[in-house]
Amino acid sequence: MGTRGRLITLEGGEGAGKSTQTATVVDWLQGRGRRVLRTREPGGSPLAEAIRALVLGQWDEGVTPQTELLLMFAARAAHVAATIEPALARGEDVVCDRFIDASWAYQGAGRGLDDGVLGTLETLVLGRLRPDLVLLFDLPPDIGLARAHRRGKGNRFEAEDLAFMTRVRQGYRARADADEDRYALIDAAAAPDQVRDAVRRVLEQRL
């Protein structure tokens, strides 16, 4: 039996440049001869992508925090079963643009949902699976929101205010502070090529 792949996730608030840096991580791993699967959340399997359209969409009736939480975890359950676990079992490294930490930061710290409930869903959906390395792209929320608005994709989260994004940032940073072995904090306010160099340095040190 071959060795399992590693799960590497990229996290951060709106406008942190994660999607660009996901390619940096993939290139770095492939350059070292690894087989890599690139994926994202919410989404990453056909069923999970269908749920993504629902949870990021605008609904006249509104979306309660509870609905949002359950859809995020429903998508994750499908994604883990259909995409992530099989790839790790085949020995591929999985690079995922957002994962479980986004639920702790957005639904937990951002929406104020209960830690106990999140922990129960985490155990239900992930079992013992956790990222081997989390790259946290940290930047002041005013800069992030300004970038996101310039890009103008306009999902429900980009319409959130500064107070919400400040709570999200604090939520992410608290998780990174509590587990320095698994998390790496990256200054995402820097220029893109500097951020890319910082990402490569972290990968050299940690993988």
Q: Which residues bind ligand TYD (CB under 6 A)?
A: 14, 18-19, 41-42, 56, 72, 97-98, 102-103, 106-107, 153, 155, 157
Specify the residue, 32 or 115, whose C-beta has the smaller distance to ligand TYD: 115
Quick count: other Cβ atoms within 10 Å of Cβ 21? 24
Which residue type is seen at 199?
V
Specify the residue, 39 or 107, whose C-beta has the smaller distance to ligand TYD: 107
Sign of CA dihedral 43, 93, 77, 130: negative
Specify the residue, 67 or 132, whose C-beta has the smaller distance to ligand TYD: 67
| Smallest distance from ligand TYD to CB 16, Å | 7
Contacts of 190 (CB under 8 A, 6+ apart): 198
Quick count: other Cβ atoms within 10 Å of Cβ 196? 20
| Smallest distance from ligand TYD to CB 148, Å | 7
Contacts of 18 (CB under 8 A, 6+ apart): 10, 11, 12, 97, 98, 137
Q: Which of 155-161's residues contact partners 24+ apart within 8 Å by CB, and which partners?
A: 155/56, 156/56, 156/57, 156/58, 156/63, 157/14, 157/56, 157/106, 158/14, 160/14, 160/110
Cis amide prior to 42 (ω within 30 degrees) = yes
Specify the residue, 93 or 160, whose C-beta has the smaller distance to ligand TYD: 160
Specify the residue, 90 or 153, whose C-beta has the smaller distance to ligand TYD: 153
| Smallest distance from ligand TYD to CB 35, Å | 24
| Smallest distance from ligand TYD to CB 156, Å | 8
Nearest to 195 by CA among 135, 124, 133: 135
Contacts of 140 (CB under 8 A, 6+ apart): 169, 189
| Smallest distance from ligand TYD to CB 101, Å | 8
| Smallest distance from ligand TYD to CB 104, Å | 8
